[in-house]
Amino acid sequence: MQNTDLMFSLRGVGKQRPGPEGFYLSISALDVRRGQLLALVGPSGCGKSTALDLLAGILRPDIETQDAVFQFTPEPEKPRDILAIWRAGRGERLAALRLRHMGYVLQTGGLLPFLTARQNMLLPCRCAGNEAERAEAVERLAEELGVSDVADQYPATLSVGERQRVAIVRALAHAPAVVLADEPTAALDPAHSRRVMALFARLAREQGCTVVMVSHAPDMARETGFTLAPIRVEKDDDGDRGLSRLHFSLEDA
């Protein structure tokens, strides 16, 4: 029987990243509980962002074992077999799952330059068809993250930190089941990072949201309530980076 208390459950999948700085990310086991705050940690270039893009259904995973598993369960008792969707070539189904159930925070913010900050924040709600019912909640999120006073400005007029906080509001705006965040405070100084991370974690908890975050600051992630999932790097015979291994199960938590 599938454990539908898990938001994600992966076994025996990976991803080859070619090129001079390439590596192979091997996910032998990854279980993420519903409502968990999980931080993927490890050295630069080990595959943390690649793991995030696999979870988002952006990258097609490589199958390592015959009994490979990739289950995503945004709604209890309704698991989605992501490998089956990839095999069927149903990219539109993956896009629909992202649209309805996921929020994504990019390192660069990723705001659309021709929309105001408020329009950027409300964009996922408009796409999901719940803009009217979520508008007040989004305004509260913007106020808590300190960007309500710049909501009518365009991204080009905002500071780097303001753009990143707008991006965090946007990721939480449509009340997604899971938020994937790639270094959400990378553009902020340590003091602001801690404040924003603590607020981000609290808001996610209040919304009952699962968060999987890439972090280069494990101590800060732990301080703000995240469980750490380390990616181990193994060298090949020539001493170059060859294999990155991610193994995180409920027993590790």
For 189-247, how does the pLDDT look when each residue is reduced to its tens digit (9 = 90+)? 888 888 888 988 998 889 899 999 999 889 999 999 999 999 999 876 555 557 999 99
Q: What's the pTM value of the predicted model, to 2 decimals?
A: 0.92
Of all residues in the chain, what percent carry a pLDDT higher than 90? 72
Closest CA to 60 of 96, 79, 30, 84: 84
Model confidence at 44, in pLDDT bands (50, 70, 90)? Answer: confident
Position 111 scores a pLDDT of 95
pLDDT of 96-138, one tens digit each? Answer: 999 999 999 998 889 999 999 999 999 999 998 999 999 999 9
Query: What sign results for the dihedral spanned by CA atoms 48, 228, 111, 205?
Result: positive
Read off the pLDDT band of 157 (50, 70, 90).
Answer: very high
pLDDT for position 241? 59
Work out the pLDDT band at 2, boundaries 50, 70, 90. low
Q: What mean pLDDT comes out for the span 154-158?
A: 96
pLDDT at 109: 81
In 3-state terms, what secondary structure has residue 194? helix
Phi, psi at 159, each rounded to 5°: -70, 165
* Among 169, 161, 107, 98, CA closest to 128: 98
Q: Give the sign of the dihedral formed by CA 53, CA 58, CA 60, CA 63.
A: positive
pLDDT for position 1 = 39
Domains parsed from the chain with CATH numbers: 6-252 (3.40.50.300)
Please tell me the predicted confidence (pLDDT) of residue 17: 82
- The helix (H) or strand (E) run that includes residue 219 is helix 218-223
pLDDT at 3: 62
How far, CA to CA in Å, does 145 sit from each of 52, 94, 137, 188, 243?
24, 30, 12, 13, 38
